[in-house]
Amino acid sequence: MAIYVVMLGAPGAGKGTQAQLLSQQSDLPHISSGDIFRENLKKKTELGVLASEYMNKGELVPDDVTIAMIKERLTRKDCQNGAVLDGFPRTVAQAKALDDMLAEIDGKVDVVPYIKVEPEILIERLTGRWTCREHGHIFHEKYNPPKEPGICDIDGSELYQREDDKEETVRNRIQVYMEQTAPLIDYYQAAGVLKMIEGDQEIDQVTKDLMAVIPLND
Ligand code: AMP
């Protein structure tokens, strides 16, 4: 049976870091909507240029564009055993669209780990974050520093600070999260799939707590 995991949490809660680790340990592909937009922007595709207008302000890319992009991604062969979704869905409309697209392939959202972190911590987490240019691996100057400053431990590529990790944009992203994405906590709670994970712990401990709620096939 395929397993679909939706990582939920505010920007800076650690969803991306944990989604990468979960993907490595489970062999499920890591699908980050933000990474797909950034790759498109790097290649200067129409989608990337459109998305960047929203991303740079910390706003959400419109639902129709985002839903179509994820739908296409989920039909690729590497998703036949499921996927770890990170950053999608971000609105109730996206969550409903995801339920519909999975129903078409006899799947469903199996588990939604919600990584909970107090809002005060998020700003420090995001403004100190460094991201790898090649594959989006995530580091933090204080909490998860790379062995060599400015270089990704995993693939040796350059680390950079995302344009939208600047403080003013970060504040808007958190606001947008509270208004548009936080309602998904109730949505998935009602569906019986939400699992709360304490996010204000060492990265390894968060990973352990996360792995404990994922129903992996052995
Ligand atoms: P992330 O890398 O998940 O923090 O996403 C970076 C930015 O990409 C967000 O601030 C949005 O502008 C855009 N984005 C990513 N995922 C979505 C989504 N599911 N819906 C709308 N916009 C998104």
Summarised one tens digit per residue, pLDDT across range 117-140 is 998 899 999 999 999 999 999 999
Task: Judge whether 163 lies within some domain.
Answer: no
Structure-token pair, residue 51: 């998305």
Active site annotation includes 129 = yes
Q: Report how far apart, in Å, the C-alpha atoms of 164 and of each of 52, 103, 121, 123, 161 are.
A: 10, 34, 17, 12, 8
pTM summary value: 0.94
Span 27-39, average pLDDT: 96
Number of compact structural domains in the chain: 1
Cβ pair 140, 31 in contact under 8 A? no
Active site annotation includes 90 = yes
Q: Which domain holds residue 93?
A: 3-117+181-212
pLDDT at 216 over 90: no
Is the CB–ligand 1 distance for residue 55 below 6 Å? yes
Task: Judge whether 167 lies within some domain.
Answer: no
**Protein residue with least CA distance to atom 6, ligand 1:** 34
Is the CB–ligand 1 distance for residue 173 below 6 Å? yes
CATH number at residue 30: 3.40.50.300
Going from the Cα of 34 to the center of ligand 1, the distance in angstroms, rounded, reads 5
Task: Judge whether 162 lies within some domain.
Answer: no
**Protein residue with least CA distance to atom 12, ligand 1:** 55
Q: 57-107, pLDDT tens digit by residue?
A: 999 999 999 999 999 999 999 999 999 999 999 999 999 999 999 999 999
Q: What percent of the chain has pLDDT over 90?
A: 94
